Amino acid sequence: MGTYDIIIVGAGPAGIFCALQAAGQGYKVLMLEKGRPLEKRNCPAKNDGGNCLKCKNCSIVCGWGGAGAFSDGKLTLSSQVGGNLAQDIGEEKLRKEMEEVDRVYLEFGAPEHVYGPSPERLEELEKKALMADMKFVAADLRHLGTGHSTKILQEMYRRLQEDGVEIKTNTKVSQIWVEKDTLQGVKTQAGEEYRGKYVMVAPGRENASWFEEEARRLGLSLSINPVDIGIRVEVPSVVTHDITRDVYEPKLLYYSKTFDDRVRTFCMCPHGEVVQENNQGLITVNGHSYADKKTNNTNFALLVSKTFTEPFREPITYGHYIARLANLLGGGVLVQRLGDLLAGRRSTRERLERGQVEPTLKEATPGDLSLVLPYRHLKSLIEMLEALDCMAPGIYSRNTLLYGVEVKFYSSRIEVDKNMETQIPNLFVGGDGAGITRGLMQASITGWMIGKAIVYRIKEERSR
């Protein structure tokens, strides 16, 4: 169906930044994305009373721009947050790549303002966290905002098309094509074959399980990352204002007293709304903060990280099981007041209406999260809510809303070198779905680095 210099699988941040490196240099570059173009990524549930229709390819989590297209759009300007690339490529190189990628986002319209505490404020927040038995991780942050993110991504799409990159959406890659240990290209679900000397795969979280299966089929080495399972918390914005006004997204780490499990805050959305996502038929919860509209609530995730050891090697399957159980009980996302959870009873519509926090996810089903989450996870989450109340009084309130479940499907990590190249020559992988990163900035950096490495190699070959 065609021969290319570079084939990029997945049009999320990693895939896009790889393409930006290679575009406009006379190379034949093909991008394949199973989801829709950005302008056609419309969730039909919005026209159906908010009920998820369980589309085959969810427009919220796949399509041009990846899952981040409609997310909060946070560029974390710290090597300590969003992945472990510092361990892979070194602190100095990561900071250099981060500066370059940040400049690219600015070039395409990212806001100039960077959130970050003053030294005095940082010391105050660190002290408060320490007194509550938590660690505060300082991280400057550039907030794109849901809505503005799509404008930036659309401009990137336009630029790549102008520079000759061929982009095929609604095209699902089913197989990485390797013959006799030599990379040939990729094959699609529709039976198309695309040949390419260099292939970059950025599957995204939604396709993490597919990529894990492909990696095992190809004999690539995998290591098991922790699986992150938890809840999304929703409180009045005034409760968290003191810790979000300067930092926007505070990163807090806690080790539970009972089990010594790692619990962390993730994706805090001041004045945002809670949303549901369809991950291959599983309905999970997430949060957004919009660039142009605000609610009276703030939401954030609390995630418990659990590392499994031998003989269990399927953390993604474990996460699917927990999410499936929530869907079985509630038909989708469950919501429960903290007071009801502590009292050992399920929440009802009447109890939610009596509360002081109006749910922003109207479609969530009142229920009982203790029937879904393992006791170990639930105990650790409750302990951290108590600890957070020391920093932001009001979080550990009976009216606080808890949505479940939130699961991050990026568990198995592919073994790669410093250029993100796998054991199969010329096959590169990047982003969250490969288990390498855990956030927008570091995912973008992997694509940027891969693009550099491929372009350099092509130039070397052609100069001989």
How large is the average pLDDT for residues 431-450?
92
pLDDT for residue 410: 61
pLDDT at 23 over 70: yes
User: Quick one: CA dihedral 90, 91, 92, 97, positive or negative?
Assistant: positive
| Element of type H or E holding 235 | strand 227-236
pLDDT mean across residues, the chain: 90
Q: What local confidence, expressed as pLDDT, does residue 51 receive? A: 62
Supply the pLDDT for residue 69.
65
pLDDT of residue 44: 65
Residue 276 neighbours by CB under 8 Å, 6+ apart: 52, 283, 284, 285, 286, 332, 333, 361, 363, 364
- pLDDT band at residue 19, thresholds of 50, 70 and 90? very high
Mean pLDDT of 198-214: 90
Could you give the percent of the chain with pLDDT greater than 90? 66
DSSP β-ladder status, 297-306 and 262-269:
antiparallel
Q: List, in order, residues 6 or more apart from 244 with CB less than 8 Å away.
A: 237, 250, 268, 270, 298
Q: Do strands 166-168 and 29-32 pair parallel, antiparallel, or not at all (unpaired)?
A: parallel
Evaluate if residue 47 carries a pLDDT over 60: no
* Of 295 and 313, more confident: 295
Any idea which of 26-40, 52-66, 343-357, 410-424 has the lowest mean pLDDT? 52-66
What is the structure's pLDDT at 379? 98
**Overall average pLDDT of the 94-116 stretch:** 94
Q: Which residue has the higher pLDDT, 144 or 300?
A: 300
pLDDT at 231 over 70: yes
Confidence of residue 71 (pLDDT cuts 50, 70, 90): low
Task: Using DSSP, state whether 4 is helix, strand or coil.
Answer: strand
What six digits make up the tokens of 174?
Answer: 């089913």
The predicted structure's pLDDT at residue 48: 55
Residue 175, classified by CB atoms within 10 Å of its CB into exposed (0-12), middle (13-18) or buried (19+), is middle
pLDDT given for residue 79 in this prediction: 85
More confident residue, 224 or 340: 340
Give the 3-state secondary structure of 293-342: CCCCEEEEEEEEEECCCCCCCCHHHHHHHHHHHHHHHHCCCEEEEHHHHH
Q: Domain boundaries in the chain?
A: 3-73+78-113+144-224+413-463, 227-408
Tell me if the domain spanning 3-73+78-113+144-224+413-463 has CATH number 3.40.1190.20.
no
pLDDT in tens, 75-94: 999 888 888 898 889 999 99
User: What pLDDT band is residue 118 in, cutting at 50, 70 and 90?
Assistant: confident
pLDDT given at position 332:
92
pLDDT given at position 224: 76
* Assigned token pair, 217: 């089929």
| pTM, to two decimals | 0.86
Handedness of CA 143, 149, 151, 155 (dihedral sign): positive
Does pLDDT of 259 surpass 70?
A: yes
Single out the residue of 267, 272, 377 nearest to residue 321, CA to CA: 377
* Phi-psi map region of 332: left, alpha, beta (phi>0 left; psi -120 to 50 alpha): left
* 398 pLDDT more than 70: yes
